[in-house]
Structure 1
Amino acid sequence: MTGGTDHDVVVCGAGVAGLSAACALGRLGHRVLVLEKRPVPQPVAKGEVLQPGSLAVLREWGVADRLEAAGALRLEHLVARAADGTPRMLLDYGRLPTPQPWLLAHDYPTILATLAETLPPSVEVRRGALVEDLLRTGDRVTGVRVDGAELRVPLVVAADGTSSRLRRAAGLTAPRRDYPHRLAAFELDGPDGTVPADFSAYVTDGGLRLRYPLPGGRIRLYVQVAPDELRGLGPDGLRAWADRVLDGCPGLAPLAGAFRAGVDRRQVLPVSRALAPALAVPGLALVGESGHLVHPMAAQGMNSSIADAHTLATVLRQGGSLRPGVLDHALRRYDTARRHDLHHIGRTSHNAARMITDRSWIGDRALTGTGGNARIRHEVMHTMSGLGIRRLTPVDRLHQIGVLPDPRAARLPGWARAASGSGAAAR
């Protein structure tokens, strides 16, 4: 495997970020090679909820319709609830100005498989291929070393995850700030009662409990835990722990039987946030978790990866060439655009997570204030949906925590009034 005549781009990693980059760049006509070290995809309990901004991109690629045909579920509301299930902040996605005003939920392996099925003919995927290092000419990345051989291409895309070997090889950092908790993920079958088909986060004295439906009548449940909370617990200990979780969150009563039955089948996920100070160097772009991490509370991680791929393809299409000078200009534009958005998305996700997980006075006030302020609530929803950043001012922050009354609290933003007037979903 030598030379560079067979491919224009090498994408390292075949998760959602890598396959999205391959799909987007392949649609430009570039010859793309995806290299993935794992022989088969690994099932993980994350990356299952798509935001409207991502759905617009995936519909353009032919992915969204395939996901719906495969049973993906439309979720119209994102709700923060009290422990007893009472809504404290409800985001009504039907008010969004988009043809897809909903979240879409499906299993991560199905999302990966659907992306793989829709890859353009110019994309090749090789599994079981270990990318060992970057190749360089001066300060420029000119390819990769894979399984002991050299592969030279104009552009390398690093989509190799949180511990990205290629990011380190390029001299880039992404300092991780770990949250003081983890999330235990459970896949539950057969709830005991009716469960609303929405994305719901419960605020409890024990922290976050998050649930949403998956196809086939299943429920995904996340429970906030301390790093060692479940370590060493036997069957009796796990049952007692499950009882404490349910006692502290009566709103989960319809899931009680399924939760107790499935409590020993879990994944415990670390939770961190990070943003690399640069997402590109000459000849190399970072996409997905190789460049950034966010708390999963606001369902932004996978969606940010898709936005990375779409933005990268957009700037490359505008450049029109992979010649070094043109490519470098495009990569600088990609870096500027994405870091600008990712900084705001990361802050929004962090603030949303703190409102639920910290149980602080200010977080509780911010949740109540946002829930009761139609204008701010809709601005936050627009940002979280991936349809465009809506910045809150310092005065808005004071309105959120109730320090300063908001005379516009009952007024919807102009975009929401227009969406309601056009019949998007007046509710």
Structure 2
Amino acid sequence: MPGNVSTRPLATQPVPESGSKYDIIVVGAGVLGSAFAATFGKQGKRVLLLERDLNEPDRIVGELLQPGGCKALRELGLADCLEGIDAIPTYGYGVIRGSENVHIPYLTNPDTGKPDEGRSFHHGRFIQNLRTAASQAPNVTVVEATVNEIMRDEDGVRVVGVTCSQKKDAAEDAASTASSVAAQYFAPLTVIADGCFSKFRKQFIEKPVATTSHFVGFIMKDVQLPFPNHGHVILASPSPILMYQISSRDTRILVDVPGKLPSASSGALRSYLENVIHPQLPATLQKQFLIALETERLRSMPNSFLPPSTSSELGVILLGDAMNMRHPLTGGGMTVALND
């Protein structure tokens, strides 16, 4: 499936007029925002889904959905979003330390008598399917726009809507030099679902986000993992390594790097991966690791922790990573979001 999917099939046309009113405004069309919009739209609520960039995202996390997340998708009527993206069924974990390994299968589903099943996939492909489901749901309006402000009533007590900037279509008004158009939208409920780097979190949550380490990730091609159709946790020193297949040919590797991240531009990060991490991998994976290290782009993401908290703010709720986060090694973020 190609990257950088066009925004045209996703964004609602024509763009709603400034001042339009809805039942719910959702800020962020990620896992939670898209699923939320699709679900409540089907329940008859008029939902406005706002997303800064509707092109296919390119991320190194959010690629393994646990069985609980798959179950939540089915209950929301969104199971089809896992289809057509070359997703890989997963049935548990393999934990490896040196020459020792332990197989940890998922529990058996009492209703089917079969092992529970998760899925792993390219994150962006899954997101685009969720966004498509939202855009095709009744009562949902999808707008590509950057939310600039959360608006409150005259007393400053209740959130009543948002101010945003929409990208302007050059063909729409070639004479104008403005690159965006400001708009205001109103709803009795605004859902903040703009993810781990939430722009608005600090307005509603006092607790700071703690970053303890970074995941460095890249793709290895055509790898035979020790436990096919399983996530892999390698107990390396000084911190764990996570691996799982995300498509027919692609396997994701995520290396947890504690403390300050070595510089990628100076070559220090590549040297760390080659000299510290490479020797600790299973022998069958070491050659492919070095090949990928030379050919693939190294990406990094902070591993953040934010405990859940309550808010007394009226007219607004924060959900998903905007509200609470746990270490990505748990593989639970998307499952938490969908159950939210």
> Normalising by structure 1, what TM-score?
0.64
Aligned counterpart for 1:22 among listed residues 29, 37, 41: 37
Confirm or deny that 1:146 pairs with 2:146: no
* SS of match in other structure, 2:252: strand
The answer to whether the 8 A contact 1:61-1:118 is kept is no
The answer to whether the 8 A contact 1:133-1:146 is kept is yes
The answer to whether the 8 A contact 1:48-1:106 is kept is yes
Q: 5+ unaligned residues in a row in structure 2: which ranges?
A: 1-16, 166-181
Alignment match, 2:94: 79
* SS of match in other structure, 2:138: coil
What code does the residue aligned with 2:158 have? R
Displacement of 1:121: 2.4
Confirm or deny that 1:296 pairs with 2:328: yes
Q: CA 1:12 to 1:91, structure 2 compared with 1: closer, same or farther past 3 Å?
A: same
Confirm or deny that 1:202 pairs with 2:234: yes
Displacement of 1:104: 0.8
Confirm or deny that 1:11 pairs with 2:41: no
Alignment of 1:217-256 (within 5 A): 217-232=249-264, 238=270, 241-249=273-281, 251=282, 253-256=283-286
Confirm or deny that 1:266 pairs with 2:298: yes
The answer to whether the 8 A contact 1:191-1:257 is kept is no
Confirm or deny that 1:130 pairs with 2:152: no
Q: Deviations over 1:70-123 (max 9, x none)?
A: 321111112322133511xx4321424465711111111111111122221211
Alignment match, 2:208: 175
Displacement of 1:141: 0.9
* SS of match in other structure, 1:258: helix
The answer to whether the 8 A contact 1:188-1:218 is kept is yes
Q: CA 1:58 to 1:280, structure 2 compared with 1: closer, same or farther past 3 Å?
A: farther
Q: Distance in 1 between matches of 2:37 and 2:225?
A: 42
Q: CA 1:274 to 1:195, structure 2 compared with 1: closer, same or farther past 3 Å?
A: same
Q: Distance in 1 between matches of 2:126 and 2:106?
A: 21
What code does the residue aligned with 2:139 have? S
Q: Deviations over 1:46-67 (max 9, x none)?
A: 1011122221221234432442
Q: Distance in 2 between matches of 1:219 and 1:71?
A: 12
Displacement of 1:216: 1.8
What code does the residue aligned with 1:162 have? C
Q: Distance in 1 between matches of 2:225 and 2:68?
A: 32
The answer to whether the 8 A contact 1:2-1:149 is kept is yes
Q: Distance in 1 between matches of 2:309 and 2:140?
A: 30
Q: CA 1:192 to 1:209, structure 2 compared with 1: closer, same or farther past 3 Å?
A: same
Displacement of 1:27: 2.0
Q: Distance in 2 between matches of 1:166 and 1:237?
A: 32
Displacement of 1:190: 1.8
What code does the residue aligned with 1:284 have? V
> Normalising by structure 2, what TM-score?
0.80
Displacement of 1:146: 1.5
Q: Distance in 1 between matches of 2:35 and 2:44?
A: 15
Displacement of 1:237: 7.7
Q: Distance in 2 between matches of 1:162 and 1:173?
A: 15
Displacement of 1:197: 2.1
Report how many residues are paired: 300
Q: CA 1:229 to 1:57, structure 2 compared with 1: closer, same or farther past 3 Å?
A: closer
Alignment match, 1:409: none
Alignment of 1:23-422 (within 5 A): 23-87=38-102, 90-97=103-110, 101-119=116-134, 120-127=137-144, 129-137=145-153, 138=155, 139-147=157-165, 148-169=182-203, 171-179=204-212, 181-191=213-223, 196-232=228-264, 238=270, 241-249=273-281, 251=282, 253-263=283-293, 264-278=296-310, 281-308=313-340
Q: Deviations over 1:2-47 (max 9, x none)?
A: 4344x21110111112112112211211111111122524300110
What code does the residue aligned with 1:200 have? H
Alignment match, 2:178: none
Q: Deviations over 1:205-239 (max 9, x none)?
A: 23201111111221111112244454156669836
Q: CA 1:194 to 1:201, structure 2 compared with 1: closer, same or farther past 3 Å?
A: closer
The answer to whether the 8 A contact 2:262-2:268 is kept is no
Overall identity of the aligned pairs, in %: 25
Q: CA 1:69 to 1:280, structure 2 compared with 1: closer, same or farther past 3 Å?
A: farther
The answer to whether the 8 A contact 2:19-2:183 is kept is no
Q: Deviations over 1:124-164 (max 9, x none)?
A: 2111x111111212311111112233211111010112342
The answer to whether the 8 A contact 1:239-1:260 is kept is no
The answer to whether the 8 A contact 2:241-2:255 is kept is yes
The answer to whether the 8 A contact 2:85-2:126 is kept is no
The answer to whether the 8 A contact 1:173-1:277 is kept is no
Q: Distance in 1 between matches of 2:80 and 2:334?
A: 18
The answer to whether the 8 A contact 2:151-2:160 is kept is yes
Q: 5+ unaligned residues in a row in structure 1: which ranges?
A: 309-427
Higher RCO structure, 1 or 2 (CA under 8 Å, sep 6+):
2
Q: Distance in 2 between matches of 1:210 and 1:295?
A: 12
Alignment match, 2:12: none
* SS of match in other structure, 2:61: coil
